[in-house]
Amino acid sequence: MPNLNDIMEMVDALETKAVITAPTRCVAVRNRHSSCRKCADVCLADCITVDKNELEIDAGACVACGACIAVCPTSALVSVDPMEEELAAAVADVTRATDGVTVIACARKAARQTGDPDKYAVVPCLARMDEMLLVELAARGIQDIQLVDGTCRTCKYRAAVPAIDDTVESARTLLESVGSTTTITRTDDFPAVAKVADLHKAVGAARREFFTSTGHYAKDVAKSAAEKMVSEKLKQLKLQKEEQSLREKLGVKAGAGKMPTIEASRNLAILDAMARIGEPVEPEMFTRIFGDIEIDTEKCNGCGMCVMFCPTDALRKCLDKHPDETLGYVEFSMADCTQCNLCADACLKKCIEIIPVVKMDELFDFEPRLVEISASKTGNNKLFNRKK
């Protein structure tokens, strides 16, 4: 039987961060002029630091609400408690048990044992919910999504309410734009279909969850040693990475005319789910997921910094000749624009504006649009004068 010191040592060794970072996806890491601080602005615990091309999370201060994950435009923050796949699997299981009603509850509400634990999924806080999961549920035919949380004023997550409301409203807008009849409801009580019929069952489930979370100490002794070895290896790799320059971390090749890009995977998943639901029923949509761009050609000097730093390749070099020799083009893909605003932040002439209203026909077209820019006045722009 392990003593208290053994238990504490093992718990410490097996401790997992609720959120991990993917720094090379962060626009503030990619460019120090980035104004994006969406994750830090929404953080309840002030545990996120974005400064000097670094993205850091104080795991000890983090309360695992997940709000930062929902607002990050480039998915630079990843949930590991719960992992995306785990949450999706749990939601699928409980939806089958409720004949097509999806019920997701916050951990505090679940602890009150008024719901049937086999009929709802649990997240630490509803701020962990994002549009991708909600729209995908609708695409799979779910007509009723119930988000259950308490209204207790002492809840450590109470400051997340505006973030939850924003996500729910954003998901509703996405669904309404393609004629979905799925309803997303926030409520402070479990719906009848998920009410507990046997109190002993709910209490038993809570006890099982507690004992599971303690780690089954005897069983995990070997795992603890392995985790420590992995942890040490990760520390070594981190030290090696810290010795790299920013260009090396981001994988910038010598002579490259553009920063390495990342896939706007969340955007594409949401758009795919929307397409499976139906055709657009509105001409345009106000959204925080996709974006449009406007460039003031009178201010633009054709430097190409917007294309160079666009993280998702929403802006690309265009070889098409403009009939007016004083102008040129860039290609813009609305589906790949995440409203990270890095193109505008990197713009030397401050002539770019990101618009949160998108035209639905263009969004679903998947073909890039030609956007006018000024022709390079210097004639030596590496990005726009390089041959294909």
For residues 285 and 337, state if they share a domain.
Answer: yes
- The reply to whether 281 and 239 lie within a common domain is no
Look over the chain and give the mean of its residue pLDDT values, rounded to a whole number.
Answer: 82
Let me know whether 95 and 63 are in one domain.
no
| Nearest by Cα to 117 from 98, 132, 100 | 98
- Residue 89 inside a domain? The answer is yes
Q: DSSP for 163-192, please give it.
A: HHHHHHHHHHHHHHHTT---EEEEESS--G
DSSP 334-347: GGG-----HHHHH-
Range(s) of the domain holding residue 115: 84-197
Other C-beta atoms within 10 Å of 365: how many?
13
| 110 lies in some domain | yes
CB atoms within 10 A of CB 323: 5
Give the pLDDT score at 56.
Answer: 92
301 alpha-carbon distance from chain centroid:
33
Q: Is 207 within the bounds of a domain?
A: no
Cα separation of 73 and 136, whole Å?
18
Q: Which residues of 161-196 are buried (b: 16+ CB within 10 A; e: fewer)?
A: bebbebbbebbbbbbebbebebebeeeeebbebbeb
What whole-number distance in Å separates Cα of residue 123 and Cα of residue 103?
Answer: 11
Q: Check whether residue 36 and residue 90 sit in a common domain.
A: no
Report the distance separating Cα 71 and Cα 163, nearest Å. Answer: 9
Radius of gyration of the chain, Cα coordinates, nearest whole angstrom: 24
* Span 154-163, pLDDT tens digits: 788 888 889 9
CA distance 321 to 92: 51
Residues 374/366, Cβ–Cβ less than 8 Å: no
If asked whether residues 323 and 179 sit together in one domain, one would say no
Tell me if 128 is assigned to some domain.
yes
By C-alpha distance, which of 312, 308, 311 is closest to 373? Answer: 308
Give me the pLDDT at residue 169, please.
Answer: 97
User: 289 with 361, same domain?
Assistant: yes
120 with 168, same domain: the answer is yes
182 and 110 share one domain: yes
* pLDDT interval class at 99 (50, 70, 90): confident
Let me know if residue 263 belongs to a domain. Answer: no
Count of domains in the chain? 3
135 and 88 within one domain: yes
Angle, CA 105 vertex, CA 276 and CA 69 arms, to 5°: 65
Q: Which helix (H) or strand (E) holds 124?
A: none
- Please say if the pLDDT value at position 387 is more than 60: no
pLDDT digits (tens, 9 = 90+) for 163-222: 999 999 999 999 999 999 999 999 989 999 999 876 555 555 543 343 333 333 333 434
CB distance 190 to 147 below 8 Å: no
pLDDT for the residue numbered 83: 82
Which tokens hold the place of 307? 């294309």
Q: What is the CATH number of the domain that holds 285?
A: 3.30.70.20
What pLDDT score does 70 carry? 92
CA atoms of 203 and 147, how far apart (whole Å): 22
Q: Is 67 exposed, middle or buried (0-12, 13-18, 19+ CB in 10 A)?
A: buried
Selected residue with higher pLDDT from 383 and 314: 314
Asked if 68 and 40 sit in the same domain, the reply is yes
- How far apart CA 254 and CA 364 sit, in angstroms, is 36
Q: CA 360 to CA 283: how far, in whole Å?
A: 6
Q: How far apart are CA 296 and CA 358, in angstroms?
A: 18
| Boundary residue ending a domain (135, 167, 197) | 197
| Angle at CA of residue 161, ends 58 and 340, nearest 5° | 60
- Tell whether the model's pLDDT for residue 93 goes beyond 60: yes
What percent of the chain has a predicted confidence (pLDDT) above 90?
59
Q: What is the pLDDT of residues 320-347, one digit of tens each?
A: 999 999 999 999 999 999 999 999 999 9
* 162 within some domain: yes
Report the pLDDT value the prediction gives residue 184, as an integer from 0 to 100. Answer: 97
Residue 236 belongs to some domain of the structure:
yes
Q: List, in sequence order, the alpha helices (H) in 214-251.
A: 221-242, 246-250
- Say yes or no to pLDDT of 301 above 80: yes
Question: Are residues 166 and 310 both part of a single domain?
Answer: no
In a domain, residue 60? The reply is yes
Question: What is the rounded distance in angstroms from the CA atom of residue 127 to the CA atom of residue 69?
Answer: 9
User: CA–CA separation, 137 vs 152, rounded Å?
Assistant: 28
Looking at the structure, tell me whether residues 92 and 183 fall in a common domain: yes
Beta bridge partners of 50: 55
